Amino acid sequence: MVIFENVTKIYRMGSEEIRALDNISLEIRDGEILVVMGPSGSGKSTFLHLAGCLDKPTFGRILMDGRDVSSLKEKELSRIRNKTIGFVFQQFNLLPRLTALENVELPMVYAGVPRKKRVEKAKKLLEMVGLSDRMKHKPSQLSGGQQQRVAIARALANDPKIILADEPTGNLDTKSGEVVINILKDLNRRGLTIVIVTHDPEVAIIAHRVIHLKDGKIVKEEVRV
Amino acid sequence: MSNKTRTFLSMLGITIGVAAVIAVVSLGQGTSESVRERKSSLGSNIIFIKPGRVGGTGGRIAPAVGDVLNEEDVKKMKQLCFTLSDITPVLQRQSVILFEEKNTIATIMGVYPSIFDMMDLKVKEGRPFFESDEGKRVIVLGEKVAEDLFEGVNPVGQKVYVITPTGKQGFTVIGVLEKSGQLLFFNPDNAVFLPFKTAQYRIFHTKKVSLIVAKTVSQDLTDTAVLEIDDYLYKKFRDENMYNIVSQEAILSTLNETMTILNLTLGGIAGISLLVGGIGIMNIMLVSVTERTREIGIRKALGATNSSILLQFLMESTIITLIAGIIGISLGALIADLVGKTVNLPVLITPEVVMLAIGVSTGVGLFFGVYPAYKASKLNPVDALRYE
């Protein structure tokens, strides 16, 4: 579904060129749990941003359902981010002024879903992640684990095909991390493709496939069953 | 909380600007409206001919030339000036007027009967005087004079006395005028009217007249009439300083010009205040965009398009200025009301002005919000997400 073909991503930091990804070719397959591991600065986050249509490659092609991302207009990329992809971040990235329910509603707002339907769906999703009693709470009134579960509910709002999670357990204690990982595993069982970027080997346990990145290159690929 | 304080402070600029606009415009409109009312009540086709001022030596103000105009001039002008529909000499003086134990000060006016039509003065009780009353001891009272002297007693048929330097003269009240209010030159409510000859023989003892009031056939002939009168008087005196011709129209246009300049000046100040206010809004929106960089990144990751981010920030700046504008309108109305009451100026707040103020403040929000909103919409989502 998402194919990287000889993808290179170069950032400029002042006069310095940073080759964040270096000639990567890879396929994210439908229905798999792909874990991308590597030390910090290895290009994990860049990989995720490119897969999530938040950025475009410097060289090479990324095919999203057969369409070259580089050729797409900003509006179409927004639509893909909105409908096809669900993001889960290490920092949770909930909007602090909105309640849990409103945060989950947000992607549906951008998709033009009518208010009544939005609220209904958001409530259902929050129930699913076990937060039916925290809907009116602001992020600051929730624990890290609860915030991450709200973020997962938000990622699922528009029924995406793929969840991209950037260090989803990075800011959580072990127990909350386990809860989050189990939710992701459960979602995969229902047919969602899950990509997790992490440096936590515990998380990699649920992977079908693990890719190790270093200095922007794939150094190792493990297939687990 | 500090966000709210900051936003409130930025709103002040717009609030003050809008308040200034509203205050200035409502005072200006109120004044224009009242001038217009007086103009139509007096008729803008009235011309006053007064003796000029000459001499004036040392520190002394030149006195009016007293003995220049007489009844003969009135008769001649009536013949010569075709643009005049009516004309009357006026003998005018402040005097004490008595009824039994009460007295008051009134403007004594010795005039032709045509004055009532010319100045549109209507009789409330009794009747005005006619040509057949010339020389008779009759008097018509202004509304205020009648009220001061009679307090509820019907004045018609009563005898009042006018104090003159040579003694007191008695006159029978034949009519009382309706309340008129201040006209541009005098207030008929504080005046009493006598037939010209009566006033001449009984009170003023002179062949000269204080001033001449003329009315033109129509308003657009006023300028021509002024020229005709000037032509006659210049031929008589060979000196333009001996007389003074003032048309109601000229006074009003001067007044209007002054008002216009005042309005433009104050409007300009208000405009600058709005501009500065707008820059304040732009500033606060730019700060807000920077502070919310991460939020913008998150929104983009969730599927917000550039245009929806643009719209969000434009709406925020517009709502801020709209609220500021609404506060400004209330504040401006309050200021106009207070100023109006203090200096006794009429205030008129029309829906058009309110709509204009709302329009302007919304416009300022849109205009000064565009740049910050555009900046926000163009943020790269990856950079925005990384922003701490």
Contacts of residue A110 in chain B, CB cutoff 8 Å? 299, 302-305, 308
Residue A61 burial (CB < 10 Å; 0-12/13-18/19+)? middle
Fill in the DSSP letter of residue A71.
G
From residue B257, alpha-carbon distances to A140, B213, B241, B343 in Å are 62, 25, 25, 20
Q: How many Å apart are CA B216 and CA B77, to the nearest integer?
A: 12
List the end-to-end C-alpha distance of chain B, in Å, as a whole number: 20
Tokens 């920092």 — which residue? A91
Q: pLDDT digit string (tens) for B177-205?
A: 998 877 766 788 999 999 999 999 989 88
- Residue B311 touches partner A, C-beta closer than 8 Å: no
Stretch A128-132: mean pLDDT, rounded? 92
Say yes or no to pLDDT of A99 above 80: yes
Three-class SS state of B180: coil
Contacts of residue A78 in chain B, CB cutoff 8 Å? 300, 303-306
Predicted confidence at residue B1, as pLDDT, reads: 40
Q: How many Å apart are CA B76 and CA B315, to the nearest integer?
A: 73
Split at pLDDT 50, 70, 90, the class of B219 is confident
Domain chopping of chain A, boundaries = 28-56+70-223
Contacts of residue B382 in chain A, CB cutoff 8 Å? 49, 54-55
Fill in the DSSP letter of residue A107.
H
> What is the rounded average pLDDT for all residues in chain B?
86
The alpha carbon of residue A183 is apart from the nearest alpha carbon of chain B, in Å, by: 20
> What is the rounded average pLDDT for all residues in chain A?
92
Report the candidate in B313, B322, B323, B324 with the shortest Cα–Cα distance to residue B290: B313
- Residue B300 touches partner A, C-beta closer than 8 Å: yes
Say yes or no to pLDDT of A35 above 80: yes
Q: How many Å apart are CA A58 and CA B367, to the nearest integer?
A: 36
CB–CB of A81 and B300 under 8 A? yes
> In CATH, what class is A28-56+70-223?
alpha beta
Predicted confidence at residue B39, as pLDDT, reads: 59
- Residue A55 touches partner B, C-beta closer than 8 Å: yes
Stretch A43-48: mean pLDDT, rounded? 91
Predicted confidence at residue A151, as pLDDT, reads: 95
Say yes or no to pLDDT of B42 above 70: no
DSSP B167-214: EEEEEEEEEEEPP----SS--GGGEEEEEHHHHIIIII--SB-SEEEE
- The predicted complex's ipTM stands at 0.93
CB–CB of A49 and B382 under 8 A? yes
Q: How many Å apart are CA A167 and CA A107, to the nearest integer?
A: 21
Which amino acid makes up residue B197? K
Percent of chain B past pLDDT 70, that is, above it, reads 92
Say yes or no to pLDDT of B140 above 50: yes
Specify whether the CB–CB gap between B375 and B293 falls below 8 A: no
CB–CB of A110 and B306 under 8 A? no
Q: How many Å apart are CA B252 and CA A196, to the nearest integer?
A: 82
Fill in the DSSP letter of residue B289.
H
Residue of B nearest to A78 (CA): B303
- For residue B341, give both structure tokens: 């009451």
Q: CB-hemisphere CA count at 13 Å for B93?
A: 18
Predicted confidence at residue B38, as pLDDT, reads: 64
**Distant-in-sequence, close-in-space partners of A37: CB < 8 Å, separation ≥ 6:** A44, A197, A198, A199, A201, A204, A210, A211, A212, A213
- For residue A144, give both structure tokens: 């890290």
Three-class SS state of B323: helix
Pick B301's closest partner by Cβ from A54, A79, A83: A54
List the end-to-end C-alpha distance of chain A, in Å, as a whole number: 20
- Residue B382 touches partner A, C-beta closer than 8 Å: yes
Say yes or no to pLDDT of A213 above 90: yes
Stretch B37-61: mean pLDDT, rounded? 67
Point out the least confidently predicted range of A76-80, B116-120, B219-223, B378-382.
B219-223
- Residue B306 touches partner A, C-beta closer than 8 Å: yes
- Residue A90 touches partner B, C-beta closer than 8 Å: no
Q: pLDDT digit string (tens) for B273-305?
A: 888 889 999 999 999 999 999 999 999 999 999
Residue B203, φ and ψ in degrees, nearest 5: -120, -50
Report the candidate in B222, B241, B236 with the shortest Cα–Cα distance to residue B75: B236
The alpha carbon of residue B282 is apart from the nearest alpha carbon of chain A, in Å, by: 22
CB–CB of A52 and B301 under 8 A? yes
Q: pLDDT digit string (tens) for A56-75?
A: 899 999 999 888 988 899 99
Fill in the DSSP letter of residue A98.
S
Domain chopping of chain B, boundaries = 2-38+253-386, 85-211
- For residue B325, give both structure tokens: 């504008």
Specify whether the CB–CB gap between A181 and A169 falls below 8 A: yes
Contacts of residue A118 in chain B, CB cutoff 8 Å? none
Predicted confidence at residue B376, as pLDDT, reads: 93
Whether this model's pTM surpasses 0.80:
no
Pick B302's closest partner by Cβ from A49, A55, A110: A110
Specify whether the CB–CB gap between A207 and A37 falls below 8 A: no
Specify whether the CB–CB gap between A150 and A92 falls below 8 A: yes
The alpha carbon of residue B305 is apart from the nearest alpha carbon of chain A, in Å, by: 5
The H or E element spanning position A114 is none
Say yes or no to pLDDT of B267 above 90: no
